[in-house]
């Protein structure tokens, strides 16, 4: 999945990703997660599907809080 505006690759909570640093981008918390080995990204525990990006690949539109567009696209993709 990618951000609809800038194309940055996004990952959903629960998705297994390589070890590294990730930042939550679907809300304004920009929570940092460091995985020391390959594994799943953590859930949000707030009823929403958390979206993360690699901290090594900053999202150009992060400051405008536009990744909700990608979130809506992800939901639509899961339904089809």
Q: What are the domain boundaries of the chain?
A: 11-79
Q: Write out residues in the chain with pLDDT < 50, as ranges.
A: 65-67
Task: State the DSSP code for 17.
Answer: E
pTM of the shown model: 0.71
Question: Chain-wide mean pLDDT for the chain?
Answer: 78
pLDDT of residue 65: 43
Q: Give 31-50 as a DSSP string.
A: -EEEESSSEEPPP-SSSS--
């Amino acid at each position: 999945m990618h951000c609809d505006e800038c194309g940055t690759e996004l990952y959903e909570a629960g998705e297994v990703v390589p070890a590294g640093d990730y930042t939550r981008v679907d809300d304004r918390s920009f929570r940092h997660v460091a995985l020391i080995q390959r594994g799943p990204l953590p859930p949000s525990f707030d009823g929403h599907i958390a979206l993360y990006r690699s901290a090594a690949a900053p999202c150009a539109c992060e400051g405008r809080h536009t990744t909700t567009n990608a979130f809506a696209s992800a939901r639509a993709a899961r339904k089809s």
